[in-house]
Amino acid sequence: MPLPFTPGGLIFDCDGTLADTMPLHYQAWRATLDRAGHPALFTEEQFYAWAGAPAYEILERLALQHGVTLALADLTHEKEMTYQKLIPQLTPIEPVLAELRRFYGTVPMAVVSGGMKVLVDETLDILGIRECFEIVVGSGEVTKGKPDPEGMLLAAKTLGVAPENCIVYEDGPAGIEAARRAGMRAVDITKFIG
């Protein structure tokens, strides 16, 4: 993955970027919404289009879009706990981990995810890369999820790197847009991993 310049800091998304967890997340969504009596509420296509958005925000959007009332907090918790049981099945996305290893120890790094920090930390632990990051920003550390740039800007500030000197690795449109709004350059990893 060639970079346009030598970065001052690197920011990685977690799900779908560092780890191949997106099918597991969708499986958790399906199980949760099916149990809640909404089997047709969230298509796989829509799930991937909204990649990077926190679960609570996804449920808000779904309720608005379909004109239904959802127990947002309860369903968010249920979805995340359902996903947590699936985490041991995750696999690494090796080309992205190779980039991480290439810069580890020379460039400060962070993770910015729409997932709960405890679940992101668990993913990083399974991958054996938690110590590579100076900060992990999850959905609970920001007031607005991607495509809002809040998480990206918080990571850059913590790393002590100007936003324009950061490179963001992302797999979802919302994360790429968040990077753009933060004044950062983004690498769309889907163009490199197929």
Q: Give the whole-angstrom CA distance, residue 78 versus residue 125.
A: 22
Catalytic pick from 13, 20, 121, 188? 13
Q: Give the whole-angstrom CA distance, residue 101 versus residue 117.
A: 22
| DSSP E strand boundaries for 43-172 | 109-112, 135-137, 166-170
Q: Give the whole-angstrom CA distance, residue 76 versus residue 139.
A: 12
Is 13 annotated in the active site? yes
CA distances from 72 to 33, 41, 59, 178 (A): 11, 14, 6, 24
CA 180 to chain centre: 16
- Tokens representing 137 are 């920003």
Of the candidates 22, 5, 13, 177, which has an alpha carbon nearest to the alpha carbon of residue 107?
5
Sheet holding 135-137, edge to edge: 135-137, 109-112, 9-12, 166-170, 185-188
Active site residues: 13
